[in-house]
Amino acid sequence: MNRRRNSVFGVFGMLLAVAFAGSGTSAFAQRVVPRDPAEPQQGRPQTAKTPARPAGAVARKDVDEKAMRGLIEQLVACGTRLSLSSWSDPKRGIGCGRDRIAARLNEIAKSSGGKLQVVIDKFDATSERTSGKALPLESVYAILPGTDPKLAKTVFIVSGHYDSRPSNVMDTEAEAPGADDDASGVSVSVESARLLSKAGANGAGGYRATILFAAISGEEQGLLGGYRLLEWAKQQGYTIGGMLDDDIVGDDPAAGASHRVRLFSGNGESDDCDSPGRELARAIEEIDGREAIRLIFRVDRYGRGGDHYPFYKAGLPAVRFTEPLEDYTHQHQTPRTENGIEYGDFAKYLNLSFLGDVARDNAEALRQLALAPAPPTNAKLTGAMTPDAKVSWAAEDDPERAGFEILWRETTEPRWEVYDFASSAGETVLKGVSTDNHFFAVRSVGKNGARSIAAPTEMERRPPPLPAGAKQ
Ligand SMILES: [Zn+2]
């Protein structure tokens, strides 16, 4: 596609340059892109016909907005859900929040044909925001086990945090409704559990990998539940396939709505900024569409954090969904009116139509990712200083896999394009393609059409000779 675009644009570009130069708009004309060498030099990329994306997409009409609102209003009715508030009072405090979520998930589990398992994870954590003392905390997880014996050890997580906070993060008495931050994310996680466990119960075959729907505590005291979830998943022996954090996803307050939800992913530490989180973000955008997802290439909003962060820092695929433009009078504010401005994170500000879209897009991304084969491993790029790029990779046996897509992109492009298809692991020679002008990756494709996240190729390092005493 790039090749074709370049050559067509190249020819017309030159003609345009001449035409515009003659008509006096030379400032624009001189900036017309000069023609680049065609790659591959002969022939065209062989994009073989690979299976279409899996049928049975989660339908927007199946999202139960009423139930989502119902859960959010129940959580708000707990008064405060600060992690330092009461765990035992059934009517006020974070324990009340835990009970409402567990009750709703147990209800959903009943209609899942016994497939969905609800777990309360109790743990202690300490931070500045627990006054340096070990604070007992609880998170609620619902687990939908994968059907494939190998892939069931891979888990895809969707998470929201059910703790909330007033202006003072240590104040256990003040009201902290926390409708948007983050009962909204919890409602996305819980609704995804309903949408996906129902499909599994209907004999649709379930999902190959395990899906975990989390509602966690301790976020406002320092991402305590996020760190714990990562530790818990490791203790259970899971590989993290992907972690979708939904935090402040309930409103679309900017003028001109509706807008796309933002999806944050960090750069990681590689030269080409292809962190696992970035690959997960690209996969989600491809599944849900550019009209639904606004990719933001940074780990989080400026100077802020969320529960995907511990996963990201551990080098795992983790991303954050957040509404298009936040209203700070509704976040982290003790409810009050000041100078005619009403502060507080109330359910009345939510936009359920937007929130329902976010739930649909999370559920569909989880569905396709959990249906996919494992990503390839050990993806490598060799062939430097030769005319041909060579992409190699490995993969475990998987009878449900159709093959692999070899992906490439211009170094300045944000998204992958499919270059070629290979039916088995090994090496593909990209004839006449420079190693230097593109980035490369490989992903697995199931016979069902589901794609894994991409595994970017690592380059063969060819360190130049250095002067004596210089550091590599
Ligand atoms: Zn939050």
User: What's the pLDDT score for residue 6?
Assistant: 40
Q: Rounded to a whole number, what is the distance in angstroms from the first to the last CA of the chain? A: 37
Q: Ligand 1 center to residue 247 CA distance, Å?
A: 5
Query: What pTM was estimated for this model as a whole?
Result: 0.91
Q: Ligand 1 center to residue 103 CA distance, Å?
A: 22
Average pLDDT over residues 64-70: 98
Q: Ligand 1 center to residue 299 CA distance, Å?
A: 15
User: Is residue 403 predicted with pLDDT exceeding 90?
Assistant: yes
Cα–Cα dist 338/329, whole Å: 11
| Alpha helix segments (H runs only) across 48-183 | 65-76, 94-110
H helix or E strand, kind and range, residue 21: helix 2-23
Which residues have C-beta within 8 Å of that of residue 296, sequence separation ≥ 6?
262, 263, 264, 265
Q: Ligand 1 center to residue 183 CA distance, Å?
A: 9
Q: Ligand 1 center to residue 42 CA distance, Å?
A: 52
Q: Ligand 1 center to residue 87 CA distance, Å?
A: 20
Span 267-309, pLDDT tens digits: 998 777 799 999 999 999 999 999 999 999 999 999 899 999 9
Residue type, 393: W
User: Is residue 1 predicted with pLDDT exceeding 80?
Assistant: no
Q: Are 75 and 162 in contact (CB under 8 A)?
A: yes
350 backbone φψ class: left, alpha, beta (φ>0; ψ -120 to 50): beta
Q: Ligand 1 center to residue 248 CA distance, Å?
A: 6
Cα–Cα dist 183/200, whole Å: 26
User: Is residue 7 predicted with pLDDT exceeding 50?
Assistant: no
What is the pLDDT confidence band of residue 472, given thresholds at 50, 70 and 90? low
Mean pLDDT of the chain: 91
CA within 13 Å, CB half, 109: 19
Span 146-174, pLDDT tens digits: 999 999 999 999 999 999 999 999 999 99
User: What's the pLDDT score for residue 84?
Assistant: 97
Q: Ligand 1 center to residue 112 CA distance, Å?
A: 29
Q: Ligand 1 center to residue 268 CA distance, Å?
A: 22
Question: What number of other Cβ atoms are within 10 A of residue 56's Cβ?
Answer: 12
State phi, psi for 181 to the nearest 5 degrees.
-115, 90
Q: Ligand 1 center to residue 249 CA distance, Å?
A: 10
Structure tokens at 74: 């129940």
Q: Ligand 1 center to residue 51 CA distance, Å?
A: 39
User: Is residue 400 predicted with pLDDT exceeding 50?
Assistant: yes
Cα–Cα dist 331/367, whole Å: 31
What is the pLDDT confidence band of residue 391, given thresholds at 50, 70 and 90? very high
97 class by beta-carbon count within 10 Å (0-12 exposed, 13-18 middle, 19+ buried)? buried
Structure tokens at 455: 């595994």
Cα–Cα dist 52/127, whole Å: 48
Q: Ligand 1 center to residue 60 CA distance, Å?
A: 25
Q: Ligand 1 center to residue 401 CA distance, Å?
A: 38
Cα–Cα dist 126/124, whole Å: 7
Structure tokens at 420: 């070629």
Question: Of 67, 209, 223, 68, whose CA–CA distance to 143 is shortest?
Answer: 209
Cα–Cα dist 246/227, whole Å: 16
Span 9-18, pLDDT tens digits: 443 434 444 4
Tokens 């009340």 map to which residue?
96
Which one has a higher pLDDT value, 432 or 21?
432
User: What's the pLDDT score for residue 271?
Assistant: 72
Cα–Cα dist 41/437, whole Å: 13
Q: Ligand 1 center to residue 274 CA distance, Å?
A: 26
DSSP 472: -
User: What's the pLDDT score for residue 296?
Assistant: 97
User: What's the pLDDT score for residue 175?
Assistant: 97
As a whole-number percent, the residues of the chain with pLDDT over 90 amount to 82
Q: Ligand 1 center to residue 306 CA distance, Å?
A: 7
For residue 412, give Cα distances in angstroms to 34, 184, 439.
16, 35, 9
Average pLDDT over residues 29-44: 78
Span 307-341, pLDDT tens digits: 999 999 999 999 999 999 999 999 899 999 999 99
User: What's the pLDDT score for residue 114?
Assistant: 85
Q: Ligand 1 center to residue 261 CA distance, Å?
A: 15
Span 349-387, pLDDT tens digits: 999 999 999 999 999 999 999 999 999 999 999 998 999
Which one has a higher pLDDT value, 72 or 469?
72
What is the pLDDT confidence band of residue 33, given thresholds at 50, 70 and 90? low
User: What's the pLDDT score for residue 105?
Assistant: 98
Q: Ligand 1 center to residue 74 CA distance, Å?
A: 18
User: What's the pLDDT score for residue 12?
Assistant: 40
Q: Ligand 1 center to residue 232 CA distance, Å?
A: 21
Structure tokens at 11: 């020819």
Question: Of 412, 403, 414, whose CA–CA distance to 373 is shortest?
Answer: 403
Cα–Cα dist 26/438, whole Å: 31
Which one has a higher pLDDT value, 41 or 404?
404
Q: Ligand 1 center to residue 161 CA distance, Å?
A: 7
